[in-house]
Chain A
Amino acid sequence: MREQLPALIVVVPLLAALASPLVAYFSTTLVRWLSIAAILVAHLSSIGSLVHALTQGTWHYHFGGWAPPWGIEYVIDPLGGVMAVLISFVSLVVVVYSGPFLKEYDWLKKGIYYALFTLLTTGLLGMVVTGDVFNFYVFLEVSSLTGYALIAAGGNRATVAAFRYLLIGTIGASFYLLGIGYLYAITGSLNMADLAEKIPLIIDSPVVLLAVVMFVVGLGTKMALFPLHGWQPDAYTYSHPAAAALIAGVMAKVPAYAVLRFFFFIIVGSTGPVQSALEVMGWLAAAGIIVGSIMAIAQKDFRRMLAYSSVAQIGYIVVGLAIGNTFGLIGAMLHFINHAIMKSCLFLVAGGVKFRTGEHAIEKYAELSRKMPLTMGAFLIAALSMVGLPPTAGFFSKWYLVLGALEAGKWPYVVVIIISSLLNAVYFFRIIENAYMKKASPPLADKASSTLELPLQMLVPIVVLGLGILVLGIFNEQLVSQVLQYAIPGGGR
């Protein structure tokens, strides 16, 4: 069984997804436990694979025994392993949290929700463990399609948002497909390791250049890199409140992971199109950081504010990649993790507040600190982390990014990161002021039926992620020197 771990990461949630509607017909409680169990198995398998990758080197798993470059290969290296652990962890937390939102659904809706949710998880996990660029595309579409459905599940306005995302997202994915098409045409291979050997020989070919451009546009669209982010605020704002944390927290991270994978592991070259592409992406990201932060300040809806903040935060990751030295990449990697946890936590809080009061508007957050002290406590930690104040996790990704930018002599990035921290402070402290100081008038509607501020299934995930941010911050060094430094190119073994 142990040697099948990489396959389990994907196969178990996939099977669970397929079985979900059927199981739901018999028992809606069972389908919930099935999803939780499947994602838990995926999570444990990811951890097992990551440990294996760290202790015994990259794990190559040949699907069905077909050897690459003909068969599909799963590759768990520290980078993919870290991402898999992260995705499955956030997914696990969010699936636990989803429960209370689905109370009023009938069995079919519940079954479909869990099917979509586990399928989304499957797609995201598949992308990070696969060693095959076409297989990556398949998983990209799996996650995108389920993503569209989960966003559309949010209600009236969500359908428009989802449809728009569907159009733009499909175009983005097509660009990616064209990119790998060009690479396949010139190298005859779809295997990542194989490509990595062949491409450096033809790095100056215009076909590679074209492929790189396709990747920038395609992946840039999927990760909502400024100015390709138009679909994202609506999609995040109106998506299903239970799934929003997974969608906003990790869905955009995986295309960013793909940029790291493609531009640092597959199309390697110290000169050539990749460097220019990263340069361009870096500047776009820097602009996105500023624009996203300013737009976030202008928002009245909490989720929309978070969505714009995501445009800015994905910029941090891309800036880290554009800096390209060890510190920059560590910063980017750390920010993958930190931002996924922070943003998920914030969306869980948003969902929790919606669940309790039915409100999303920032001004309706008045007096929440009394009603929901633990939720707001988690929010406080996440907000401080977004601003980047020690000892929260956000400070340390910022630290490595600034360190990297200074080492590379790229001062403008330093300025951008610092300004962005301050803008973050502006929009997060506005909410803190509301939640802790303003008096609510008229008094808030209160849907709570029990003495607890939220059902335990929701409260525990929120608190876990909130504390997780502190733990990540305090123990960031262990994470960096024992895991992340092996995940970046040229690090460790």
Chain B
Amino acid sequence: MAPEILLDYRPLWAIMISLAAAVLILLTGERRANLRETWTILAAFGKAAIVFSMLPYILSGNVIEIAPLHVAKGIILQLRVDTAGMLFAALASTLWIVTSFYSIGYMRGHHETNQTGYFASFAVCLSATIGIAFAANLLTFFVFYEILTIATYPLVIHSRNDEAIKSGRKYLAYTLIAGQLFLIAIVWTYLLVGNGDFAAGGFLNLEHASVGALQTIFVLMIIGTAVKAGVMPLHGWLPAAMVAPTPVSALLHAVAVVKAGAFGILRVVGYVFGPEVLGQIGTADVLAWVAAFTIIVSSLIAMQQDNLKRRLAFSTVGQLSYVVLGISLLSPLGFLGGMYHIIAHAFMKITLFFCAGAINVTTHKTEISEMKGIGKRMPITMAAFTIASFGIAGFPFLVGFISKWNLALGALQADKGLFIAVLIGSAMLSTTYLLPVGYMAFFKSSDKFTKYGEANYMMLIPIVITATLSIVLGVFPNFGANFYDLAVMSAQSIVKSVQLIGGGF
């Protein structure tokens, strides 16, 4: 059954709305802060409305396309909303709404400077993210990918001190170099195939080039995308970038930027090469082992961090490699689990970062060792934190379980049972580095935190929402945006089979 293609400008509007908001934010400026924030909120709701209005049509198995102009000679800037793109776009636009409110609360609570630039860059980042989700060919993808790199830079260096400048340099060094390597691979692909249009199941195969050339292209593309996904040894920028304000860490370094990298890997593996070709050239196994290595090592490093945000950063590095691992297993359920983990991790990690930010704003504590007994002062925040921690560890009835269950099945399906050991080991490790925070907060007492005093509502409500969603999605994985169905449909299209065997959850 060939999908119907609807020509519609909505994907373009979804990108442009936050770009327009960025311009309005810059024009409004620091003096009229409330008006400025109104643009952010309006754009966030508008974007989500546009994205979700396309959902039913995509769920019925069709795609929406639009090609507003040419990117370069012979290559059109094409936007196509398919199931995988929809999954990512729906996630990013949903979380932008909560983050917008949280940002306002955080930035004002923290009396940050340069807020105009902050909100404008944030909006541009979201445009780029949606562009990445909807890009229909490699060059379009790359254009948005680089825009995201640049738009994130002002957020990383937000505090303008020496540490921030250093982190900014590190960030640029990693992402720009990897981006250029990605570019070479893209140019090469265009020369070999004549186009770079993503196709479920891949379009680049052994008819186009030798095994060696394909392996090189694959490695270059994976370097380009894996750097954003923080796969070791390309992860160095991620913990450093934690100097950024917490909402940035929350949305960008747990959702948009890193997930853009993970999503890029999905596009490369599933839509450029495809499982069949990768099975023949054998590079996906290497990627799987690199991911497994990252999962274990990052957990070990995370245990040693006392700074809460740094610990979360290393946890992010590890969790993203779950996605990478799932994709590189090349089995149907591996794809499904990997894609659903993009969703699962996003909700859990954003909750954790939100909590870290709330703690920072209300108590000015950033180190875990100083948080003994903080549960007395901020019970709701710490409860949310604990829920999300359980989710990361993969407890049933939380959203993290669903993805991990599918990942494990995917490993079995691919006859690579050894990876299950990695998954279990990592789950154990994550209980050792995240749950103690909750334990210390509630069961240790301290004379510092005696009175109740939560963060302001602008911050508290988003925390409650995302924590609740982590539970709801754990019980009803299709709640709201039909994320699970979208992941199933994408996996089906990549492996070109309706049967995923076993049926997942």
| A400 at the B interface (CB under 8 A) | yes
7 contacts across the A-B interface (CB closer than 8 A): A399-B187, A402-B183, A402-B187, A418-B181, A421-B180, A433-B165, A477-B75
- For residue B72, which residues in chain A have a CB less than 8 angstroms away from its CB? 396, 399-400, 476-477, 480
Taking each of B165, B169, B184, which has the highest tally of chain A beta carbons within 10 Å of its own beta carbon? B184
- For residue A399, which residues in chain B have a CB less than 8 angstroms away from its CB? 72, 139, 183, 187
Kindly identify, within residues 445 to 491 of chain A, every residue whose CB is under 8 Å from any CB belonging to chain B: 474-478, 480-481, 485
Interface-lining segment among B143-151, B294-302, B424-432: B143-151
- For residue A101, which residues in chain B have a CB less than 8 angstroms away from its CB? none
Cα-based distance from A421 to B180 in the complex (angstroms): 8
| A227 at the B interface (CB under 8 A) | no
The contact string, 1 if C-beta is below 8 Å from chain B, for chain A 413-428, is 0100010011001000
CB < 8 Å neighbour of B191 from A400, A406, A429, A485: A406
| A391 at the B interface (CB under 8 A) | yes
The reply to whether B150 and A384 form a contact with Cβ atoms under 8 Å apart is yes
- For residue B142, which residues in chain A have a CB less than 8 angstroms away from its CB? 390
| A330 at the B interface (CB under 8 A) | yes
- A interface, size bucket: 20 to 34
The contact string, 1 if C-beta is below 8 Å from chain A, for chain B 133-170, is 00000010011001101100010010010001100110
The reply to whether B184 and A414 form a contact with Cβ atoms under 8 Å apart is yes
The reply to whether B187 and A406 form a contact with Cβ atoms under 8 Å apart is yes
CB distance from B127 to the nearest CB of A (A): 12
> Can you name the residue of chain A whose Cβ is closest to the Cβ of B75?
A477
- For residue A485, which residues in chain B have a CB less than 8 angstroms away from its CB? 73
The reply to whether A474 and B191 form a contact with Cβ atoms under 8 Å apart is no
> Can you name the residue of chain B whose Cβ is closest to the Cβ of A420?
B180
Cα-based distance from A330 to B72 in the complex (angstroms): 11
CB < 8 Å neighbour of A403 from B164, B176, B181, B187: B187
| B193 at the A interface (CB under 8 A) | no
Cα-based distance from A475 to B160 in the complex (angstroms): 35
| A437 at the B interface (CB under 8 A) | yes
- For residue B149, which residues in chain A have a CB less than 8 angstroms away from its CB? 389
Kindly identify, within residues 378 to 421 of chain A, every residue whose CB is under 8 Å from any CB belonging to chain B: 384, 387, 389-391, 395-396, 399-400, 402-403, 406-407, 414, 418, 421
The reply to whether A477 and B69 form a contact with Cβ atoms under 8 Å apart is yes
The reply to whether A391 and B184 form a contact with Cβ atoms under 8 Å apart is no
Kindly identify, within residues 344 to 387 of chain A, every residue whose CB is under 8 Å from any CB belonging to chain B: 384, 387
The reply to whether B169 and A480 form a contact with Cβ atoms under 8 Å apart is no
Kindly identify, within residues 177 to 194 of chain B, every residue whose CB is under 8 Å from any CB belonging to chain A: 177, 180-181, 183-184, 187-188, 190-191
Q: Which 6 interchain pairs have the tightest Cβ spacing?
A: A477-B70, A390-B143, A418-B180, A437-B160, A480-B73, A402-B187
Taking each of B146, B160, B165, B190, which has the highest tally of chain A beta carbons within 10 Å of its own beta carbon? B146
| B6 at the A interface (CB under 8 A) | no
CB < 8 Å neighbour of B180 from A403, A422, A477: A422
The reply to whether B150 and A418 form a contact with Cβ atoms under 8 Å apart is no
| B414 at the A interface (CB under 8 A) | no
Known: A402-B187, A403-B187, A477-B75. 17 other contacts (CB 8 A): A387-B176, A389-B147, A391-B147, A399-B72, A399-B139, A406-B187, A407-B191, A418-B181, A418-B183, A421-B176, A422-B176, A429-B172, A433-B168, A436-B157, A475-B69, A477-B69, A485-B73
Cα-based distance from A477 to B71 in the complex (angstroms): 6
The reply to whether B73 and A481 form a contact with Cβ atoms under 8 Å apart is yes
CB distance from A180 to the nearest CB of B (A): 35
CB distance from B78 to the nearest CB of A (A): 13
Give the secondary structure class of B's interface. Answer: helix
The reply to whether B69 and A425 form a contact with Cβ atoms under 8 Å apart is no
- For residue B176, which residues in chain A have a CB less than 8 angstroms away from its CB? 387, 421-422, 425
The contact string, 1 if C-beta is below 8 Å from chain B, for chain A 264-284, is 000000000000000000000
CB distance from B403 to the nearest CB of A (A): 33
Cα-based distance from A389 to B177 in the complex (angstroms): 12
- For residue A402, which residues in chain B have a CB less than 8 angstroms away from its CB? 183-184, 187
CB distance from A473 to the nearest CB of B (A): 9
CB distance from B457 to the nearest CB of A (A): 33
CB < 8 Å neighbour of B177 from A387, A422, A475: A422
- For residue A389, which residues in chain B have a CB less than 8 angstroms away from its CB? 146-147, 149-150
CB distance from B228 to the nearest CB of A (A): 15
Cα-based distance from A437 to B188 in the complex (angstroms): 38
The contact string, 1 if C-beta is below 8 Å from chain A, for chain B 112-146, is 00000000000000000000000000010011001
- For residue B168, which residues in chain A have a CB less than 8 angstroms away from its CB? 433
- For residue B150, which residues in chain A have a CB less than 8 angstroms away from its CB? 384, 389
Cα-based distance from A402 to B172 in the complex (angstroms): 22
- For residue A390, which residues in chain B have a CB less than 8 angstroms away from its CB? 142-143, 146-147
Kindly identify, within residues 38 to 88 of chain B, every residue whose CB is under 8 Å from any CB belonging to chain A: 69-73, 75
- For residue B139, which residues in chain A have a CB less than 8 angstroms away from its CB? 399
Cα-based distance from A481 to B149 in the complex (angstroms): 29
- For residue A437, which residues in chain B have a CB less than 8 angstroms away from its CB? 157, 160, 164-165
The contact string, 1 if C-beta is below 8 Å from chain B, for chain A 11-24, is 00000000000000
Taking each of B73, B160, B188, B190, which has the highest tally of chain A beta carbons within 10 Å of its own beta carbon? B73
The reply to whether A477 and B147 form a contact with Cβ atoms under 8 Å apart is no
- For residue A422, which residues in chain B have a CB less than 8 angstroms away from its CB? 176-177, 180
The reply to whether B73 and A330 form a contact with Cβ atoms under 8 Å apart is yes
- For residue A403, which residues in chain B have a CB less than 8 angstroms away from its CB? 187, 190-191
Cα-based distance from A150 to B146 in the complex (angstroms): 40
> Can you name the residue of chain B whose Cβ is closest to the Cβ of A405?
B187
CB distance from B167 to the nearest CB of A (A): 12
Cα-based distance from A414 to B154 in the complex (angstroms): 29
CB distance from B180 to the nearest CB of A (A): 5
Cα-based distance from A429 to B169 in the complex (angstroms): 9
Cα-based distance from A481 to B183 in the complex (angstroms): 22
The reply to whether A418 and B190 form a contact with Cβ atoms under 8 Å apart is no
Cα-based distance from A202 to B164 in the complex (angstroms): 64
> Can you name the residue of chain B whose Cβ is closest to the Cβ of A484?
B73
Cα-based distance from A418 to B149 in the complex (angstroms): 17
- For residue A400, which residues in chain B have a CB less than 8 angstroms away from its CB? 72-73
> Can you name the residue of chain B whose Cβ is closest to the Cβ of A401?
B187
Kindly identify, within residues 336 to 382 of chain B, every residue whose CB is under 8 Å from any CB belonging to chain A: none
- For residue B75, which residues in chain A have a CB less than 8 angstroms away from its CB? 477
The reply to whether B157 and A391 form a contact with Cβ atoms under 8 Å apart is no
- For residue A330, which residues in chain B have a CB less than 8 angstroms away from its CB? 73
Cα-based distance from A421 to B175 in the complex (angstroms): 13
Cα-based distance from A391 to B131 in the complex (angstroms): 13
- For residue A474, which residues in chain B have a CB less than 8 angstroms away from its CB? 69
> Can you name the residue of chain A whose Cβ is closest to the Cβ of B162?
A437
